[in-house]
Amino acid sequence: MPPASPELHLPYHPPFDWPGILRFLSARLLKGVERTDESSYTRTVRLDGAVGSVRVRLAPDRDALLVDPDRTLKPVIAALRARLRALFDLDARPDVIAECLSRDERLAPSLSRSPGLRVPGAFDGFELGVRAILGQQVTVRAATTIAGRFAAAFGEPITTPFPALTHLSPTPDRLAAATVEEVASVGIIQARARSIIALAQAVATGSLPLQPGADPAETIARLVTLPGIGPWTAQYIAMRALRWPDAFPRGDVALLNRLGGVKPSEAEALSQAWRPWRSYAVLHLWHSTQ
């Protein structure tokens, strides 16, 4: 099992909606690679040549997350820390964000209920991109089922202390070399399989960095040139993988409905008042529909 004492304390600016971020991640798990329960998140890790697993939970006595990594991950602790800070949006300033968003009465109820709502990031940008493609035009539940089959088919098996964690996340190199028929065999249409392969090839060659710090405008422009990736998927990837706080998937149906059934152009106009925190406004609006 992981060490009894946590190896890392990752501080955050309170408040922090830990149950909310666990619910969001739980609904979108890559089964076999990730697992959640009522109090923790665990996943397999491949990072700079090291492999293992990690468990994350809320500290009971301080504004921090506690991280229990396998001993095999000690050589990459600094990189692991950065990945987890991005995944759990630990650098967010809820007070600054709320000061801007609270001016809009449509956001006020969610801000009141969940003042520490975070925008979940991505442990791995390619993994998030694949998960976004698998989620196109299907329910969240259906996408999670397909994602589990995908991880089992293309992820490398690994033994961990957690029975639910059985595979490493599929790599861009592995998917870049796959055929459309292979990828489609997990239960997706061939067009979506082509999208995943095209994304894998772009990431594997280094022409498409999907990580915090990458230029959002350039990345979105590159993403929408790939087959099957439209503005919604590109904005969603920018929101989570790039950690862009101002992403806005203007055509999202739930978002448009929550704004009163407006058109995408009207939603875009309304969103200007939320800049540069539109990603957080979107999460609050999605949260209000639940």
Secondary structure (3-state) at 204:
helix
Active site residues: 252
Distance CA 278, CA 286 (A): 12
Question: Residue 134 to residues 9, 118, 169, 190, 192: CA-CA distances in angstroms?
Answer: 33, 23, 14, 12, 7
Nearest to 219 by CA among 243, 195, 196: 243
Residue 192 near residue 226, CB atoms below 8 Å: no
Nearest to 104 by CA among 258, 221, 274, 247: 274
Nearest to 244 by CA among 270, 208, 215: 215
For residue 132, what are the contacts with CB-CB under 8 A and spacing of at least 6? 233, 236, 237
Pairing state of beta strands 8-11 and 50-58? unpaired
The pair of three-digit structure tokens given for residue 20, joined into one six-digit string: 């909310």
Nearest to 34 by CA among 124, 110, 135, 113: 124
For residue 234, what are the contacts with CB-CB under 8 A and spacing of at least 6? 219, 220, 223, 224
